[in-house]
């Protein structure tokens, strides 16, 4: 019985002191940044009315070393506004998850929620909205 207890104790000490592959991942704080440009043509029924539609674009973020990055991702954001004058200014919120990669392997994700201001002039029954913003987001990833 003493031998069994000694063997089990030795195994437990070994397992707890070794680098287990399940727990070998290390959490790392990252800041990713890049430009997000959005644009879209939106139908305006008439002057002094509500209008809504989508603006879209592509975003690619990376950290300062370039080691961590997101692939170029298509972003689509819904906007709604009151067309009370010929000029429209509205903030678009993408609200989208992006996968973070290191050496081609996914290591985490980041949520893109920064508001991007878009604006444009109404021409007939359409307004072409466009705008861009430098985005900076933070996240923790596991390696």
Phi, psi of 89 (to 5 degrees): -135, 125
How many C-beta atoms surround the C-beta of residue 44 within 10 A?
19
pTM of full prediction above 0.85: no
Tens-digit pLDDT profile for residues 13-59: 333 333 333 345 678 999 999 999 999 999 999 989 999 999 999 99
Tens-digit pLDDT profile for residues 78-99: 999 999 999 999 999 999 999 9
Domain residue limits, the chain: 22-142
């Amino acid at each position: 019985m003493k031998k069994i207890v000694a063997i089990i104790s030795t195994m437990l000490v070994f397992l707890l002191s070794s680098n287990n592959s399940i727990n070998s991942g290390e959490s790392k704080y990252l800041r990713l940044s890049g430009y997000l440009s959005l644009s879209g043509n939106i139908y305006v029924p008439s002057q002094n009315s509500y209008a809504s539609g989508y603006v879209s674009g592509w975003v690619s973020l990376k950290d300062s070393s370039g080691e961590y990055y997101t692939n170029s991702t298509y972003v689509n954001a819904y906007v709604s506004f009151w067309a009370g004058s010929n000029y429209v200014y509205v903030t678009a919120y993408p609200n989208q998850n992006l996968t973070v990669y290191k050496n081609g392997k996914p290591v985490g994700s980041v949520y893109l929620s920064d508001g991007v201001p878009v604006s444009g002039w109404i021409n007939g029954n359409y307004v072409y909205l466009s705008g861009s913003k430098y985005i900076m987001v933070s996240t923790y990833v596991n390696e």
